[in-house]
Amino acid sequence: MCGRFAFTVDLEELRKTFPWLITPDKHIRPRYNIAPTQPVAVVANEGARKLDFFIWGLIPFWAVDPKIGSRLINARGETLVEKNAFRAAYIRRRCLIFADGFYEWKKEPGESRKTPYYFRLQSGAPFAFGGLWETWHSPLGDLVRSCTIITTRPNALVADYHDRMPFILPEQAINDWLDPAERPPDQLDHLIGPYPADQMEAYAVSLLVNNPENDFEECIQPVQED
């Protein structure tokens, strides 16, 4: 599961990692504690590769109640074609969801509460989760674009903390993932897997991150472990 993440880099830093990305001229506020149902930075597979913002929590086009999105923040990579909420999007509507770190919680011996940990690339560079997106039309005619983060089995680093991790796209997989054409699952399944553990790091952070209203730099600062 991936239930919180951060996207703190400025547009200049983002373009260094993704030089093909079309970005807006305006400043983007750094986010240190992104929670479900909030806007997240994405690129949809619509051809232009333009940065946009979708709601985190997939609302299928057939949904009656948009609240279903709060239960569809993650999609298991192994069962995408088995789930009605994700099957069509996997074939037709894939996206990148930008981040530079994510959180997981671990129960420590002798502690009553779980300790939050922050995971990032050792380089500190931004990266992209593999995601799916949808367009939903409300009964009043409003249009909502939403997305979900695909998860996969954990690498050796994350496995010490959680039994799942978000699917981080390697650079060489981006073109296939953002192909606007329909792609059968057997052309994409091999892309979904854990990111190399030796390129990542993790450290304990403050319990501040437990409250989604806390969205400031202290959320990602390391704390001293006992």
71 and 56 in contact (C-beta within 8 Å)?
no
Active-site residue, 104 included? yes
Q: Are 122 and 22 in contact (CB under 8 A)?
A: no
Name the DSSP letter for residue 196.
P
How far apart, in whole angstroms, are the C-alpha atoms of residue 172 and residue 193?
13
Residue of 2, 95, 147, 219 with catalytic role: 2
H or E element in which residue 137 lies: strand 127-137
Among candidate residues 46, 82, 95, 104, the one labeled active-site is 104
The alpha carbon of 3 is separated from its chain's Cα centroid by a whole number of angstroms, namely 9
* Active site (annotated) includes residue 13: no
Q: Is 151 exposed, middle or buried (0-12, 13-18, 19+ CB in 10 A)?
A: buried
Kind of pairing between the strands at 200-204 and 94-99: unpaired
Reference 161, options 110, 102, 79; nearest CA is 102
Please identify every residue annotated as catalytic.
Answer: 2, 104
